[in-house]
Structure formats: structure tokens, C-alpha cells
Amino acid sequence: MIIKNILLTGASSGIGEALALYYASQPLTEHLFICGRNQERLLAIKNKCEQQGKAKIHAAVLDVTDKNAVENWINEAEKTAYLNLVFANAGVATLEETPQNIFNTFNTNVMGVLNTVTPAIELYKKRPDKDKIIALTASIAGYHGLPTCPSYSASKACIKAYGEALRTNLLPYNIQVNTICPGFVRSRITDKNTCPMPFFMEADKAASIIAERIQKNVGLIAFPWPMRFMSWLVSILPNKLSDYIYKALPNKNDS
């Protein structure tokens, strides 16, 4: 799979920032389209990317919940250069489970992904080439509903299931689909966490793992493996056992 032109949402911090810097440094990269909501952070990342290699960096201040704006951005990017990788990465944490935060979580983490993936798929279907990838950022939190973050884990469970289903669904169109389920990775989201974060990972290491496994076409990219195993195990336990385990865990605001 040849990846020359990449479009990436949520590029202004965390995994998105690390992925932008990673792809900007790759010698094959020709165009990198990035977006974020904060103009100051986004332009700072754009400048960093431009120092990484020779790729042309295109930055757009954009909210992924704006369906029309995202579709127009993707269509314009495709006119500039045939996209090889469309990465729906933007996401938010719920923090306090207020009605406003709950709706914001689902609007960004679910509808924001659909707003990115849907127009990309329609463009890809028109092209006969095989260098076409859709990547979706879910989370290990999507393996089982977590009482400390119900909305976040539910939104990521939706994306995990959607990505896994799309992978087979889009095979006839030669579209590769990879779903990413990271554990705790340094970001503005984890910076606000007050709960324990086992197997914590720096963003640049996570970006390297993700990019390398996308290149190898690993369908479900879940890491680190001990956390993936524990999350999977809890997800198949009877509710009585999983309830007991979750009750024993510290609350989000416990120090």
C-alpha cells in the first residue's frame, strides 16, 4: 500500500498531532491535510510538520460536527491530490456526565467520524486504484461499557463496531479499513484524567504503532496488549463478575 496523501482530523493534539508529525516526516508523503478547532494549536502543528520533511501541509480550522464543512473540505482535498488515507481521529472526552457533555461526546465521537468517513467512501468508490484506506480512532474503552465514562465508552464502542463491519463491507471496492483502539495515550484528554491510567504511553510511540500496523493492514489495532486482553476478558464475563470488578476500581475523581 502506497500512502502519499493523507487527510487527518483532530490533528492539533494527542495522537492526532503525533500522527501528523509522523506522516509529515515520511519521504513518500506528498500532501498532508490536517484539521482542528483551535487555530493557534493547529498552525503550530502545521509549522512543526513543515519542518519534518518536504510534504505540502494543508491546515483547516474545522469542527467535525459540521457535516457540510467536513464534506467540502474532503472534496477539495481530493481535487488537490487523490487521497490514500482518510483518518477519522477527532474525539473528545465527556468528563462530567452532564446532558450537554453527553450530547457533545456523541456528536463529536460518532457523528464527527461519520461526517468524515462517509464522503471519503463515496470518493473512494469512484476510483479503481487500490491505495485507499479509511482509519477510525476508537478506544480500548469501547470493548465494554465503563461506569466511569459511560458516554465516552459507548461512543467508542460504536466506532469500533462500525469500523470492523466496514472492513468487510468495503472489500469489493478495494478500500482498506483499519480500526484503532488505543489505551491511555498522552493527550489533552488524559491530561484531565484523575483516575489511574495503567500502561500509559507517549503519543509519538502510539503514532508509530498505529502507522506501522496500518501499513501492514492489521484490521483491529488495539494496544497495549495487556490492556486489550483485560478489556476483552471483562467484556465476556457475566455481569455479576464485571459489576464486582468495576465496583472495586477507583472512581474517576479518586486520587
| CATH number where 21 lies | 3.40.50.720
Residue 254 is assigned to a structural domain of this protein: no
Count of domains observed in the chain:
1
Is residue 236 in some structural domain? yes
Q: Say if 120 falls within a structural domain.
A: yes
Is 255 a member of any domain?
A: no
* Alpha-carbon gap, residue 90 to 47, rounded angstroms: 20
Residue 253 lies in a domain: no
pTM (2 d.p.): 0.89
- Whether 22 maps to a domain, the answer reads yes
Residue 204 is part of which domain span? 5-248
50 neighbors 26 (Cβ within 8 angstroms): no
Assigned domain for 90 exists:
yes
pLDDT truncated to tens, each residue of the chain (255 aa)?
A: 899 999 999 999 899 999 999 999 999 999 999 999 999 999 999 999 999 989 999 999 999 999 999 999 999 999 999 999 999 999 998 989 999 999 999 999 999 999 999 999 999 999 999 999 999 999 999 998 888 889 999 999 999 999 999 999 999 999 999 999 998 877 666 656 655 666 668 999 999 999 999 999 999 999 988 777 777 777 787 877 777 676 766 665 443
3-class secondary structure per residue, 80-144: HCCCCEEEECCCCCCCCCCHHHHHHHHHHHHHHHHHHHHHHHHHHHCCCCCCCEEEEECCHHHHC
